[in-house]
């Protein structure tokens, strides 16, 4: 208990350090930089922090901290813009926000959705900080309770959220999650380094696909393509009614939901190794499960925004625990944060001693984070009314720039032209999942959890085997700890409740059925992929069997699910929901353009990039798109394209990035940015 | 006292080399340039710490004070980044690379994924580290400087991968006759330490900086007992105590005290060969193949200048531990030892990896 006696003086000393004009000034500076970067999907905190790193060396520690934390804290707030306004998950923190936020924007309620989201973020951040202030004192032994079996069960609990997001046909959701899990296993196996569905002749895939690319491909590209085909604005009405004040009222009406989700956010964020990438799904699932009327979820229910947004800022606070206390970063931005702390060079390094020797420093971090949330949220709410007007702009004018930004974002993950190819390929999958009403959230959850589930199940299995050799009791004590039992119960409840309610939650809207051929063809393609994955895993030799077990298990389960679907498809009439096909909906009749010509524009950018490099290709793409598809006059075309290119160059110059080179660059040496 | 004098001599040698190198007239002005120093690991590892430590000092020491940015390219246990670096032809000093023991081992073992050739690259600086193995309290109570009382216990170890740097502790424990079960596929030594702390693993090892930062607190709290260091190499090529941990016995001492463990023969030679390749010159900074000799010289001199800073010993001991740093011809020599193990040692390790872990390198 004596540790609590230390807490109060440390807390007041921390506040003394924070509440200085210089510190606050740097905090606001960091927040502004974070907002600027966070608004662009896919860039997120890692890019921003890397940008700050060169300035960190020798900086006054508290000022440097303020700058960095200002930046980290607002990324999960500001990426809400992209999620709500364009249906693009800005980072892993706002995947679930897309599900209800974007439909709200389509109904002209963008400003309301945004301000509800920001109010929730602010509240979540503060609740998280308050909780952490006490919890961090006892966090160490609690975190140590989470061994491999517990971590495995948390991952599986996250996976159980697939239940509620499965859509109208539960098996379809399960197979979609299976597909996500399988796509997540692509690359080098984690234990013996055996390759799965990849080859050293094409080194790109050996590292597996990155979350940024899969997230953008599965959510953003299908939405962009769908909007582009309609050739209207995002919002279907001119008023951006339901202004920001209503959003705050919405939040107040759901403050208890917001509080619960904040606590979920901190707790899941604290668990090391999960990276908080499932937090928003778990709280989205929780939001639906505890709501009385559920029919509006997925169609623009403001609670679907409040839940995930309350948790994702709280999660950043929770993520500090494994980062600061164990040196295990919970996310990419936390990893850079550790590096930057070392650069500050004040002898403070993350690890076990931080709490005992530098409690005031730890508290400074926690409350700087909370303060940054306040500043960031106020700025965001102030901006939201203006930015929301983007939803009234004709989409054909926005689309080329969105393409430009997501291509750039995708390219950040691997600095490779193949990033764009992968984005295009995953986008293709996303388009068809959307069209045939296969749950895209389920796919993404599967992808995100593939690595943790495989790692923890393998670790738990190996260690349990050793413990059981010791004695039966030792083995059981290891596997069935109280935490594991509680998590198993929660998971079962979540699956049962989820599946019972899933029919009401139509993330893709009410998609009509008709025509057997297209849905059946897609199912056959899915089956072919699963069979390939199964064959590929089976061909891993015995000495590397640990790399084989997980993909084989997932592929087998998915195959059974897919075959059941196949049989059902043969037996049911074509009007059954099984044959949902977005192309048959009333919406589709409004489409001014076909799917293939629209996709061809993207393919055009991709192909041209491989020939002449990104910047030259982008120039040609912007000019031809704005002129031919958007039908602008030459003056506007050239002007808009020039602004776009200048913006891209500015971003790349600030972030110190190059662009993907093409064939041309391998023959001719060109100056930057054409390299 | 032999150790301290060795350390002092090493430091003096570096300082002398620096003094020689400094007046060179050939230094190329790098002003206005941005040097990208690529580290083939993630932002948290020892290599990141190492590069982050040197980057600002290098910027200060290079003529014209160019910006030095550390970039991270993790993947395939550093093979990805090294393969990428092999293809770099920018010989103007704007591309730099930092390799580590985990880059060296797959290269030495003939891993099929390795598409890089160390001998093509231009080393400009090398520095070493050490490692400490430690036991939990229960086993620590039985440890008497030999592993004799530990042979009837079963240990659990979180292993990053059989062909990674972890083969040094794995082989050492095997030679001591200890029964260690390896849980493969741990993402980093930080995760291994957490497994140890939560009681899932019962034996662990950390490189020097990881031990100083994370594990020594457990030792103070009585939860862990240091077992041995890998030691350090003296000028005769013999293993002596690690200057950072002069009170801990080396693996060689523990092996000599343990029944059935030999400090000679094929097994010992193989362990020592891989230790020498992996630790004393563990981290090396490279410029790409075909870099202008003047630029290589400039970088070597800059690193020598860093080593000659009056506060260098102090700031580096805190962040990197007390290990020698080599520049110029010494860095080349360090590279030489890092990438050569004799064929017998290699064959032994390849055979052992197959028997113990079923790993086939073909």
Q: What is the pLDDT of residues A558-596, one digit of tens each?
A: 999 999 999 988 888 877 777 888 777 666 666 778 788
CA distances from A300 to A95, A509, B88, B182 (A): 15, 10, 50, 50
Q: Using omega within 30 degrees of 0 as the cis cutoff, is the peptide bond preceding B144 cis?
A: no
pTM: 0.82
Q: Which of A182-191, A210-219, A335-344, A355-364 has the lowest mean pLDDT?
A: A335-344
Contacts 24+ apart (CB under 8 A), B53-61: B53/A342, B53/B316, B53/B319, B53/B320, B54/B125, B54/B285, B54/B303, B54/B306, B55/A57, B56/A54, B56/A57, B56/A58, B56/A343, B57/B306, B57/B309, B58/B302, B58/B303, B58/B306, B59/B35, B61/B302, B61/B303, B61/B305, B61/B306
Specify the higher pLDDT residue, B316 or A486.
A486
DSSP characters for A284-300?
Answer: HHHHHHH-S--TTTTS-
3-state class (DSSP) for residue B154:
strand
Chain A, chain B: beta-carbon pairs less than 8 Å apart: 122
Tell me what pLDDT residue A439 has.
Answer: 86
**Residues of B whose CB is below 8 A from A188:** 76
Positive or negative: CA dihedral B282, B285, B289, B292: negative
The correct answer on CATH 3.40.50.2300 for the domain covering B131-264 is: no
Cβ of A53 within 8 Å of Cβ of B69? The answer is: yes
3-state class (DSSP) for residue A394:
strand
Cβ of A469 within 8 Å of Cβ of B154? The answer is: yes
- List, for residues B127-152, the tens digit of each pLDDT value: 888 899 999 999 999 999 899 999 98
Specify the higher pLDDT residue, A505 or B217.
B217
**Residues of B whose CB is below 8 A from A462:** 181, 183-184
Task: Tabulate helix, strand, coil % of chain A (nearest 5).
Answer: 75, 0, 25
Percent of chain B with pLDDT over 70: 91
Which ranges of A572-594 would DSSP assign to H, the alpha helix? 586-589
Residues contacting residue A323 through CB under 8 Å, at least 6 positions apart: A329, A330, A334, A337, A338, A350
Percent of chain A with pLDDT over 90: 12
Q: Which residues in chain B (215-244) have CB-CB distances under 8 A to chain A?
A: 217-218
Tell me what pLDDT residue A631 has.
Answer: 83
How far A25 CA lies from chain B's nearest CA (Å)?
25
- List, for residues A433-464, the tens digit of each pLDDT value: 988 888 888 898 888 888 888 888 888 888 89
The residues spanned by each domain of chain B are: 2-128+281-338, 131-264
Cβ of B183 within 8 Å of Cβ of A272? The answer is: no
Residues contacting residue A533 through CB under 8 Å, at least 6 positions apart: A182, A185, A197, A551, A554, A555
- List, for residues B22-32, the tens digit of each pLDDT value: 444 457 788 77
Which ranges of A350-439 would DSSP assign to H, the alpha helix? 353-357, 359-388, 395-414, 417-435
**Distance in angstroms (rounded) separating the CA atoms of residues A265 and A125:** 10
Mean pLDDT of A383-400: 80
Nearest to residue A284, comparing CAs of A98, A453, A107, A116?
Answer: A98
Q: Does the pLDDT of residue B120 top 80, yes or no?
A: yes
Mean pLDDT of chain A: 81
**Distance in angstroms (rounded) separating the CA atoms of residues A390 and A402:** 12
How far B126 CA lies from chain A's nearest CA (Å)?
21
Which range in A53-67, B94-108, B251-265 is most confidently predicted, on average pLDDT?
B251-265
Mean pLDDT of B288-303: 89
**Distance in angstroms (rounded) separating the CA atoms of residues A188 and B75:** 9
DSSP characters for A60-74?
Answer: -HHHHHHHHHHHHHH
Specify the higher pLDDT residue, B96 or B2.
B96
Tell whether B94 is within 8 A of chain A (Cβ).
no
Strands B95-99 and B34-39: parallel
Which range in A390-394, A536-540, A651-655, B211-215 is most confidently predicted, on average pLDDT?
A536-540
Specify the higher pLDDT residue, B23 or B74.
B74
Q: Comparing B2-128+281-338 with B131-264, is the CATH topology the same?
A: yes
Report whether A17 contacts A23 (CB < 8 A): yes
Specify the higher pLDDT residue, A189 or B127.
B127
Rg of chain B over CA atoms, in angstroms?
A: 20
Residues contacting residue B165 through CB under 8 Å, at least 6 positions apart: B100, B101, B102, B105, B278
Specify the higher pLDDT residue, A95 or B201.
B201
B52 — pLDDT class (breaks 50, 70, 90): confident
Q: Which residues in chain B (64-93) have CB-CB distances under 8 A to chain A?
A: 67-70, 73, 75-77, 80, 83
Report whether B248 contacts B149 (CB < 8 A): no
Q: Does the pLDDT of residue A540 top 60, yes or no?
A: yes
Tell me what pLDDT residue B5 has.
Answer: 46
Q: Does the pLDDT of residue B9 top 60, yes or no?
A: no
Q: Interior CA angle at B32 toward B88 and B329, to 5°?
A: 55
**Distance in angstroms (rounded) separating the CA atoms of residues A85 and A81:** 6
**Distance in angstroms (rounded) separating the CA atoms of residues B316 and B209:** 11
How far A63 CA lies from chain B's nearest CA (Å)?
18
**Distance in angstroms (rounded) separating the CA atoms of residues A166 and A506:** 9
Question: Looking at the partner chain, which of B75, B154, B315 has a beta carbon nearest the beta carbon of A207?
Answer: B75
Nearest to residue B21, comparing CAs of B298, B334, B291, B284?
Answer: B298
- List, for residues A99-153, the tens digit of each pLDDT value: 888 888 888 888 888 889 989 988 998 888 888 888 888 877 887 888 888 888 8
Tell whether B213 is within 8 A of chain A (Cβ).
yes
Fold for B2-128+281-338, please state it.
D-Maltodextrin-Binding Protein; domain 2 (3.40.190)
The residues spanned by each domain of chain A are: 2-235+243-393+439-509, 596-667
**Distance in angstroms (rounded) separating the CA atoms of residues B172 and B352:** 12
Tell me what pLDDT residue A274 has.
Answer: 65
Tell me what pLDDT residue A525 has.
Answer: 94
Mean pLDDT of A360-382: 85
Residue A218 gets which letter from DSSP? I
Q: Which residues in chain B (95-114) have CB-CB distances under 8 A to chain A?
A: 112-113
The strand pairing partners of B228, in sequence order, are B133
Q: Is A575 exposed, middle or buried (0-12, 13-18, 19+ CB in 10 A)?
A: exposed
- List, for residues A588-636, the tens digit of each pLDDT value: 666 778 788 888 888 898 899 888 888 888 999 999 998 888 888 889 8
**Distance in angstroms (rounded) separating the CA atoms of residues A600 and A603:** 5
Nearest to residue A416, comparing CAs of A646, A206, A670?
Answer: A206
Question: Looking at the partner chain, which of B48, B185, B218 has a beta carbon nearest the beta carbon of A339?
Answer: B48
Cβ of B80 within 8 Å of Cβ of A146? The answer is: no
Report whether A111 contacts A391 (CB < 8 A): no
Cβ of A57 within 8 Å of Cβ of B56? The answer is: yes
Q: What count of other Cβ atoms lies within 10 Å of the Cβ of residue A629?
A: 18
Tell me what pLDDT residue A651 has.
Answer: 76
Q: Does the pLDDT of residue A182 top 90, yes or no?
A: yes
Tell me what pLDDT residue A675 has.
Answer: 63
């Amino acid at each position: 208990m004596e540790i609590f006696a230390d807490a109060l003086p440390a807390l007041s000393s921390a506040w003394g350090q924070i509440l200085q004009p210089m510190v606050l000034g740097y905090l606001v500076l960091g927040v502004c930089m974070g907002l600027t970067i966070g608004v662009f999907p896919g860039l997120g905190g890692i890019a921003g922090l890397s940008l700050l790193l060169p300035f960190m060396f020798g900086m006054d520690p508290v000022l440097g901290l303020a700058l960095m934390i200002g930046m980290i804290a607002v990324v999960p707030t500001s990426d809400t813009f992209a999620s709500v306004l364009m249906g693009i998950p800005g980072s892993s923190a706002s995947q679930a926000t897309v599900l209800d936020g974007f439909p709200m924007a389509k109904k002209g309620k963008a400003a309301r959705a945004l301000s509800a989201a920001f109010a929730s973020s602010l509240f979540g951040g503060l609740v998280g900080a308050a909780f952490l202030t006490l919890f961090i004192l006892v966090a160490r032994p609690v975190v140590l309770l989470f061994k491999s079996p517990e971590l495995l069960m948390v991952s599986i609990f996250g996976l159980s959220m697939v239940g509620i997001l499965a859509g109208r046909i539960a098996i379809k959701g399960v197979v979609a999650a299976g597909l996500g899990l399988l796509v997540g296993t692509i690359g080098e196996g984690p234990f013996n380094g055996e390759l799965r569905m990849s080859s050293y002749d094409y080194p790109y895939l050996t590292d597996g696909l990155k979350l940024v690319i899969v997230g953008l491909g599965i959510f953003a590209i299908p939405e962009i393509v769908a909007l582009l085909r309609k050739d209207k604005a995002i919002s279907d009405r001119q008023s951006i009614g339901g202004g920001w004040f209503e959003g705050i009222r919405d939040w107040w009406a759901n403050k208890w939901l917001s509080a619960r989700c904040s606590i979920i956010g901190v707790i899941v964020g604290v668990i090391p190794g999960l990276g908080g990438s499932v937090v928003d799904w778990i709280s989205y699932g929780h939001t639906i499960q505890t709501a009385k009327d559920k029919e509006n979820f997925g169609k623009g229910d403001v609670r679907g925004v409040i839940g995930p947004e309350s948790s994702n800022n709280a999660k950043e606070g929770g993520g500090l625990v494994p980062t600061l206390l164990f040196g295990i970063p919970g996310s990419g931005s936390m990893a850079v944060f550790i590096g930057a702390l070392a650069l500050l060079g004040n002898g403070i390094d993350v690890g076990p001693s931080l709490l005992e020797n530098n409690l005031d420093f730890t508290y400074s971090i926690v409350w700087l984070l909370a303060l940054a949330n306040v500043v960031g949220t106020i700025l965001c709410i102030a901006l939201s009314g203006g930015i929301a007007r983007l939803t009234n702009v004709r989409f054909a004018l926005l689309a080329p720039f969105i393409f430009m930004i997501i291509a750039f974002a995708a390219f950040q993950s691997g600095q490779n032209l193949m990033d764009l190819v992968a984005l295009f390929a995953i986008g293709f999958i996303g388009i068809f999942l959307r069209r045939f009403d296969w749950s895209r959230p389920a796919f993404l959850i599967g992808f995100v959890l593939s690595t943790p589930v495989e790692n923890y199940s393998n670790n738990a299995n190996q260690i349990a085997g050793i413990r059981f050799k010791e004695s039966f009791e030792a083995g059981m004590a290891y596997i069935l700890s109280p935490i594991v039992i509680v998590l198993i119960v929660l998971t079962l409840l979540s699956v049962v409740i989820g599946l019972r309610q899933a029919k009401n939650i139509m993330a893709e809207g009410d998609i009509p059925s008709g025509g057997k051929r297209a849905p059946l063809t897609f199912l056959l393609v899915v089956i072919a992929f699963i069979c390939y994955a199964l064959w590929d895993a089976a061909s891993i030799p015995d000495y590397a069997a640990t790399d084989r077990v997980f993909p084989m298990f997932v592929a087998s389960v998915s195959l059974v699910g897919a075959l059941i679907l196949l049989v059902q498809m043969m037996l049911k009439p074509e009007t059954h929901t099984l044959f949902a096909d977005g192309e048959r909906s009333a919406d589709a009749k409004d489409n001014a353009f076909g799917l293939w010509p629209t996709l061809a524009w993207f393919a055009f950018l991709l192909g041209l990039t491989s020939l002449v490099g990104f910047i030259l290709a982008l120039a040609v793409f912007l000019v031809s798109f704005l002129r031919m598809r958007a039908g602008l006059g030459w003056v506007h075309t050239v002007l808009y394209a020039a602004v776009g290119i200048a913006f891209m160059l500015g971003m790349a110059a600030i972030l110190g990035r190059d662009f993907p080179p093409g064939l041309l660059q391998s023959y001719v040496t060109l100056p930057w940015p054409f390299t | 006292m032999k150790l301290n004098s060795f350390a002092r001599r090493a430091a003096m040698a570096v300082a002398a080399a620096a003094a020689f190198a400094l007046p060179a007239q050939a230094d190329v002005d790098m002003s206005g340039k941005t040097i990208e120093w690529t580290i083939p690991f993630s932002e948290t590892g020892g290599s990141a710490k190492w590069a982050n430590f040197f980057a600002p000092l290098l910027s200060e020491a290079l003529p014209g004070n160019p910006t030095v940015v550390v970039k991270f390219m993790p993947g395939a246990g550093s093979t990805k980044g090294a393969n990428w670096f092999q293809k770099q032809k920018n010989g103007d000093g704007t591309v730099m690379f930092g390799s580590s023991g985990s880059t060296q081992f797959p290269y030495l073992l003939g891993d099929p994924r390795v598409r890089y050739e160390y001998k093509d690259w231009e080393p400009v600086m090398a520095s070493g580290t050490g490692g400490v193995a430690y036991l939990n309290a229960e086993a620590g109570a039985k440890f008497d400087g030999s592993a004799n009382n530990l042979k009837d216990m079963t240990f659990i170890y979180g292993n990053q991968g059989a062909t990674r740097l972890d083969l040094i502790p794995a082989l050492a424990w095997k030679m001591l006759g200890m029964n260690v079960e390896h849980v493969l596929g741990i993402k980093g030594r930080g995760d291994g330490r957490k497994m140890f702390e939560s009681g899932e693993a019962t034996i662990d090892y950390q490189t020097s900086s990881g031990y100083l930062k994370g594990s020594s607190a457990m030792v103070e709290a009585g939860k862990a007992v240091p077992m041995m260091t890998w030691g350090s190499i003296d000028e005769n090529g013999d293993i002596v105590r690690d200057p950072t941990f002069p009170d801990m016995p080396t693996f060689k001492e523990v092996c000599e005290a343990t029944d059935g463990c030999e400090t000679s023969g094929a097994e010992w030679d193989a362990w020592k060969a891989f230790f020498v390749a992996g630790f004393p010159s563990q981290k090396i900074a490279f410029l790409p193949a075909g870099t202008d000799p003047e630029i290589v010289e400039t970088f070597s001199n800059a690193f020598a200048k860093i080593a000659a800073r009056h506060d260098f010993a102090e700031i580096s001991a805190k962040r990197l531990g007390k290990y020698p740093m080599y520049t110029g011809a010494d860095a080349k020599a360090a590279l030489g030892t890092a990438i050569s193990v004799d064929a017998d040692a290699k064959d032994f390790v390849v055979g052992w990896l197959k028997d113990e872990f079923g790993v086939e390198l073909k």
